[in-house]
């Protein structure tokens, strides 16, 4: 029988009995009895950090998980991991997602853990923890932070962080003054929890629940609700049951489960970032997710959820309206129902309960009367994006979806910052703003800079949207006609790096085309004249990142962290 509890993963001294004796004696130094130390161990990966406001309540959340583990007969042992607070990291949290995944995987593999509870929420944390747990192969269950509540400003509802951008845009247009923006700044994030819209954090929580790695209903309970603690306690209990069933992440997160997640992503109008995270997570399990599959699902998946950034509601409204369960019930005929979940039941069994559509609410629509007939995210290809690019159609201005325009190019983030608001910038509302060298390697870390600001002189004249194209990402809380994740990126020689100000670009969403209207001979000449890329970093994590990070369409994971057959 395989070792369990403290006998798991013994330290190597060349004498196993000595190693166990030493470990037990040191564990007793922490005050545990023999009875406690004989129990199976549930490791709780605690991502609390004073540099992560979204996880401010995690001490309480972890206490609740521990209660559940004790009740079910396990020994809960929490340990810290890297935490990624979205707005506290430079150059961007995405640069560190793979580092966090490495940390999680290594510590799950190294320590004596029979199962793990993954506590995460802020954008990259759940993807990183799931990636690590998938690779480690130990039974695992995720507990999300839950969304923040909203607040108010002069009678208007405020929530992070779509309203952060909306008010900042008003400030840039001189519609509100410095004093007002400071008052708003104090009201945007009023409680612990993740951003209160269908941004990346909420999207990923919904997708992790869809994948079967979270307790049903666990994605949307607000962070400060008592139900959030009860959900954590129940998850602790389930972690102990997972030890008995030996149900691993690979048995739950199968290809059909990922197809369900892609479909739900379309239906909830979720964040574009989720495509990268799902691709990376699937890759850990040897499953290649193709962008074209996402696009095909768009054609048969209605958009059902009307939340910001594209709609009107907030996550607390979504939760009160029934949350993900309603979405899954409405999508039921389109889902794979035989996939397993951490509960031990299949998705079909979980949904096989009495259900009536909650017609009293507005934020979730029935499949018979959707918000939009087709999915929110589409994939573009063409000579400007041979390996694909993403556009969130539901967040775009319809009049801009079929258009050709003159490129106004910024060759780096520094160039963008230096020139975008310059009064002499030659730009009109019909131009396409193009940002180069902001991809996985060029950024580095794909900063959320794809939502290029409208040049100030246009913004103050009332322009609110333009076509923007880049190899960067966009915050899940942002909106606009924004083409993202162009692959291959400019920094590795992708055609995006060959665009020059004055070129014509055509965007044709119906045909899924993104075309740089420049003759191939001219592009070849520009390619030949490109300067050599800067030398790779030789120090620390940046050196590892630059040598191994893959392109956006492959999930931007490290190439040595998924099975070779899908490389």
Residues at the contact surface with ligand FES, assessed by CB under 6 A: 54, 86-87, 122-123, 160-161, 194-195, 199, 201
Of the two residues 268 and 434, which places its CB atom closer to ligand FES in the complex?
Answer: 268
Give the shortest CB-122-to-ligand FES separation in angstroms: 3
Of the two residues 39 and 56, which places its CB atom closer to ligand FES in the complex?
Answer: 56
Give the shortest CB-216-to-ligand FES separation in angstroms: 22
Of the two residues 150 and 194, which places its CB atom closer to ligand FES in the complex?
Answer: 194
Give the shortest CB-212-to-ligand FES separation in angstroms: 23
Give the shortest CB-466-to-ligand FES separation in angstroms: 25
Of the two residues 130 and 287, which places its CB atom closer to ligand FES in the complex?
Answer: 130
Give the shortest CB-189-to-ligand FES separation in angstroms: 8
Of the two residues 123 and 163, which places its CB atom closer to ligand FES in the complex?
Answer: 123
C-beta neighbour count of 374 within 10 angstroms: 16
481 token code pair: 């006609």
488 token code pair: 């291959």
User: What is the rounded distance in angstroms from the CA atom of residue 115 to the CA atom of residue 5?
Assistant: 10
Q: Using alpha carbons, select from 483, 475, 397 the residue that is nearest to residue 436.
A: 483
CA 347 to each of CA 63, 126, 219, 328, 492: distance values in angstroms, whole numbers, following the listed order: 29, 21, 15, 9, 41
Of the two residues 201 and 434, which places its CB atom closer to ligand FES in the complex?
Answer: 201
User: What is the rounded distance in angstroms from the CA atom of residue 279 to the CA atom of residue 339?
Assistant: 18
C-beta neighbour count of 403 within 10 angstroms: 16
Tallying the residues shown for the chain, one arrives at 567
User: What is the rounded distance in angstroms from the CA atom of residue 195 to the CA atom of residue 54?
Assistant: 8
User: What's the N-to-C CA distance of the chain in angstroms?
Assistant: 35
Beta bridge partners, 434, equal 409, 469
User: What is the rounded distance in angstroms from the CA atom of residue 136 to the CA atom of residue 116?
Assistant: 10
Give the shortest CB-199-to-ligand FES separation in angstroms: 6
Of the two residues 121 and 497, which places its CB atom closer to ligand FES in the complex?
Answer: 121
Q: Is 211 helix (H, G, I), strand (E, B) or coil?
A: helix
DSSP conformation letters of 85-144: -GGG-SS-THHHHHHHHHHHHHHHHHS--SEEEEEE-STTHHHHHHHHHHHHT--EEEEE
Give the shortest CB-276-to-ligand FES separation in angstroms: 16
Of the two residues 319 and 340, which places its CB atom closer to ligand FES in the complex?
Answer: 319
Of the two residues 115 and 160, which places its CB atom closer to ligand FES in the complex?
Answer: 160
Report CA Rg, the chain.
24
Give the shortest CB-193-to-ligand FES separation in angstroms: 8
Of the two residues 126 and 384, which places its CB atom closer to ligand FES in the complex?
Answer: 126
Give the shortest CB-496-to-ligand FES separation in angstroms: 27
Q: Is 162 helix (H, G, I), strand (E, B) or coil?
A: helix
SS3 content of the chain, % helix, strand, coil (to 5): 40, 15, 45
C-beta neighbour count of 556 within 10 angstroms: 27
The secondary structure of residue 536, as a DSSP letter, is P
Of the two residues 194 and 310, which places its CB atom closer to ligand FES in the complex?
Answer: 194
Give the shortest CB-222-to-ligand FES separation in angstroms: 13
DSSP conformation letters of 474-505: --TT--SSEEE--SS-GGGT-GGGG--TT-EE
Of the two residues 19 and 87, which places its CB atom closer to ligand FES in the complex?
Answer: 87
Q: Measure CA 143 to chain center.
A: 15
Give the shortest CB-34-to-ligand FES separation in angstroms: 42
Give the shortest CB-140-to-ligand FES separation in angstroms: 21
């Amino acid at each position: 029988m395989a070792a369990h509890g403290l006998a798991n993963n013994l330290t190597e001294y060349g004498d196993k009995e000595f190693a166990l004796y030493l470990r037990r004696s040191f564990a007793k130094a922490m005050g545990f009895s023999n009875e406690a130390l004989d129990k199976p161990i549930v490791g709780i990966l605690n991502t609390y950090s004073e540099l992560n406001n979204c996880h401010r309540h995690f001490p309480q959340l972890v206490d609740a998980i521990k209660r559940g583990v004790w009740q079910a007969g396990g020994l809960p042992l929490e340990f810290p991991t890297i935490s990624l607070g979205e707005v506290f990291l430079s150059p961007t949290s995405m640069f560190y997602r793979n580092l966090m995944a490495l940390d999680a995987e290594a510590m799950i593999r190294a320590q004596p853990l029979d199962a793990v509870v993954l506590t995460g929420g802020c954008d990259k944390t759940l993807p990183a923890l799931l990636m690590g747990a998938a690779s480690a192969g130990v039974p695992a269950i995720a507990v999300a932070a839950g969304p923040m509540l909203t607040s108010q400003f002069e009678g208007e509802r405020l929530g992070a962080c779509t309203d952060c951008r909306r008010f900042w845009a008003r400030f840039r247009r001189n519609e509100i003054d410095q004093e007002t923006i400071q008052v708003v700044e104090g009201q945007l994030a009023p409680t612990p929890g993740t951003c209160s819209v269908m941004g990346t954090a909420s999207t990923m929580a919904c997708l992790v629940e869809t994948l079967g790695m979270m307790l049903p209903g666990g994605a949307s309970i607000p962070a400060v609700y008592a139900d959030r603690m009860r959900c954590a306690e129940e998850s602790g209990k389930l972690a102990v049951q997972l030890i008995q069933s030996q149900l691993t992440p690979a048995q739950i997160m199968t290809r059909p489960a990922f197809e369900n997640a892609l479909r739900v992503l379309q239906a909830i109008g979720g964040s574009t970032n989720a495509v990268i995270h799902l691709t990376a997570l699937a890759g850990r399990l040897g499953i290649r997710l193709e962008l074209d599959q996402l696009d095909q699902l768009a054609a048969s998946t209605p958009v059902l959820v009307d939340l910001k950034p594209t709609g009107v509601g907030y996550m607390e409204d979504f939760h009160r309206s029934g949350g993900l369960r309603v979405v899954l019930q409405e999508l039921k005929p389109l889902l794979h129902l035989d996939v397993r979940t951490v509960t031990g039941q299949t998705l079909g069994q979980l949904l096989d309960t009495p259900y009536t559509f909650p017609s009293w609410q507005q934020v979730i629509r029935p499949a018979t009367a959707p918000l939009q007939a087709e999915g929110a995210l589409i994939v573009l290809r063409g000579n400007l994006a041979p390996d694909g690019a993403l556009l969130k159609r539901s967040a775009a201005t319809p009049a801009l979806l079929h258009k050709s325009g003159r490129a106004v190019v910024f060759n780096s983030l520094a160039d963008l910052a230096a020139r975008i608001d310059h009064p002499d910038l030659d730009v009109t509302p019909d131009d396409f703003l193009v940002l180069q060298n902001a991809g996985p390697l060029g950024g580095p870390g794909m900063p959320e800079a794809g939502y290029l600001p409208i040049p100030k002189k246009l913004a103050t004249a009332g322009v609110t949207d333009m076509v923007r194209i880049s190899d960067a990402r966009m915050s899940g809380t942002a909106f606009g006609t924004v083409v993202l994740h162009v692959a291959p990126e400019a920094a590795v020689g992708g055609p995006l790096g060959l665009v020059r100000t004055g070129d014509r670009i055509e965007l044709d969403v119906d045909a899924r085309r993104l075309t740089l209207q420049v003759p191939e001979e001219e592009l070849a000449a520009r390619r030949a004249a490109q300067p050599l890329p800067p030398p790779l970093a030789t120090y620390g994590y940046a050196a590892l990142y630059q040598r191994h990070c893959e392109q956006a369409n492959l999930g931007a994971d490290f190439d040595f962290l998924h099975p070779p057959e899908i490389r």
